[in-house]
């Protein structure tokens, strides 16, 4: 059985740098026994290239605007917008003017380890897509052929 998790702002771990975005692991799958929770913040234009993976993921925009693409459909999320991405769906997002912030939840463990590997192996800024593909492969992450958001 997993233990309760209480994490005050002072207790948060440092944000991981994932393709220019700061991702703070609020609850890893190892801690919860299943799902993971993240606080994601990014400057304008940051976000991952189109990709898919074997876990559901949802996002709740808390500040700024975030453009999302899910299976070819695009939308702009403002504070209060909730987006659910089913496992296997190709998706991407980009933080809008002035940057933004959102809370995200995955349906199972894996993303926190992936994000730690990316933080350790890839320098901030425009990602080396080949290196991203190599790191993501063992986690079941597949990047779309175009590897860039519209």
* pLDDT score, position 148: 47
* pLDDT score, position 145: 66
What residue ranges of the chain have pLDDT lower than 70?
1, 126, 145-150
H/E element holding 26? strand 21-27
Q: What are the residue ranges spanned by the domains of the chain?
A: 12-139
Round to whole Å and give the CA distance between 32 and 50.
28
Round to whole Å and give the CA distance between 90 and 69.
8
* pLDDT score, position 146: 55
Q: What tens digit of pLDDT does each residue of 4-23 get?
A: 999 999 999 999 999 889 99
- CATH for 12-139? 2.60.120.10
Round to whole Å and give the CA distance between 94 and 76.
9
């Amino acid at each position: 059985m997993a233990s309760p998790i209480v994490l005050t702002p002072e207790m948060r771990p440092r944000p991981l740098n994932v393709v220019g975005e700061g991702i703070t692991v609020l609850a890893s799958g190892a801690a919860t026994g299943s799902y993971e929770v993240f606080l994601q913040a990014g400057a304008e234009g940051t976000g991952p290239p189109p990709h898919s993976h074997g876990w559901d993921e949802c996002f709740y925009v808390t500040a700024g605007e975030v453009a999302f693409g899910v299976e070819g459909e695009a939308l702009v999320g403002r504070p209060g917008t909730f987006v659910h991405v089913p496992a296997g769906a190709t998706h991407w997002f980009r933080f809008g003017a002035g940057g933004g912030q959102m809370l995200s939840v995955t349906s199972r463990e894996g993303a926190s380890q992936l994000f730690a590997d990316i933080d350790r192996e890839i320098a901030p800024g425009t990602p080396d897509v080949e290196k991203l593909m190599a790191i993501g492969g063992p986690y079941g992450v597949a990047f779309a052929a175009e590897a860039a958001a519209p």
